Amino acid sequence: MSYKIIERRMIVPNIHELVVEAPHVASSVRPGNFVIIRPNEIGERMPLSVADFDRELGTVTSMFQEVGESTMKLALLKPGMEIPTYAGPLGVESKIDKFGTCLLVSGCFGIGASYPLARALKEAGNKVYMVIEARAKYLVYWEEKFRELIDGVTVITRDGSHGQKGHITGLGEVLKRNKIEPDRIFGNGCTFLMKLLSDVTRPMEIKTIVSMNPIMIDGTGMCGVCRLTVDGEIKFACVDGPEFDAHLIDWEEFLMRRKTYNEEEVEPLRRSGAGTEKHLHSCTGV
């Protein structure tokens, strides 16, 4: 069995859109689910969030950040090529309800990954707003696509090159300025953005659900690599998540575990000369 690449293109620096023909995933994927991909027979398995899907065409879209050796192999895929593994849908689907006013906070690959959730929350009758957080204008994508779907999009960039100048740590001010009073917040993006979002929404006492992206191997709860502690209990992001209550996560432990493989991922790029500081520093706080 193999899966055809329909599209793979870099949409902003280091962020790629990947569309794969995988009818078995497209027919049943739900917001919050993810897939595990392997670019070739000897490649490692990598989890990817789902950014969109077309049940009729049988295609699934993901965004990924080219940040290390594994994702660099994904970035070499071209339309028409075939890959051996595209497993899914995996993980627990997002809990969708009529919460009232929902706020999506996203950055990096998480901007795209928020799309199915935004659509489902809207369909459930919620007011849906979004804050896109990026270092600069050149890292913002799909802004118009979200504007067409939801009730409002605010872009904050750290250098002020697009939208409002600011950082996720100033989210409270951004909400006040834009008169958004969320009943529930959903975060999607790199680990550091999720951690900062958790820190900033805890004193606001607004329930915040974040999508976690630990290293994964089997994606079935067997290997233990994606372990994290939530409310004092051991959980596995692949089978219990990837979404968890941000305020119950043991962030210190999670960040330690996340760092474990940084060198293994990035060092081969440094040696080959393909890795630049850009690969390491394109996300919040990384």
Query: Residues interacting with ligand FES, by CB under 6 A?
Result: 216-219, 221-226, 236, 238
Distance separating alpha carbons of residues 132 and 168, to the nearest angstrom: 9
Helix (H, G, I), strand (E, B) or coil at 167: coil
- Provide the minimum distance between the beta carbon of 65 and ligand FES in the complex, in angstroms, as a whole number: 19
Between 54 and 218, whose beta carbon lies closer to ligand FES?
A: 218
Instruction: Give min distance, CB of 220 to ligand FES, in A.
Output: 7
Complex with ligand FES: residue 11 or 234, whichever CB lies closer: 234
Name the minimum Å distance from CB 45 to ligand FES. Answer: 8
Whether the CB-CB separation of 150 and 106 falls below 8 Å is answered with no
C-alpha to C-alpha distance for 151 and 153, rounded to whole angstroms = 7
Q: How far is the CB of 264 from ligand FES (least distance, A)?
A: 16
List beta partners, residue 87.
36
Q: What is the DSSP pairing of strand 101-106 with strand 127-134?
A: parallel
Distance between alpha carbon 250 and the CA centroid of its chain, in Å? 19
Cβ-based nearer residue to ligand FES, 87 or 196: 87
Closer CB to ligand FES, 141 or 261, in the complex = 261
- Please, what is the minimum distance in Å from the beta carbon of residue 239 to ligand FES? 6
Buried b (16+ CB within 10 A) or exposed e, 131-164: bbbbbeeebbbbbeebeebbeebbbbbeeeebbe
Q: How far apart are CA 229 and CA 215, in angstroms?
A: 15
Which one, 236 or 251, has the nearer CB to ligand FES?
A: 236
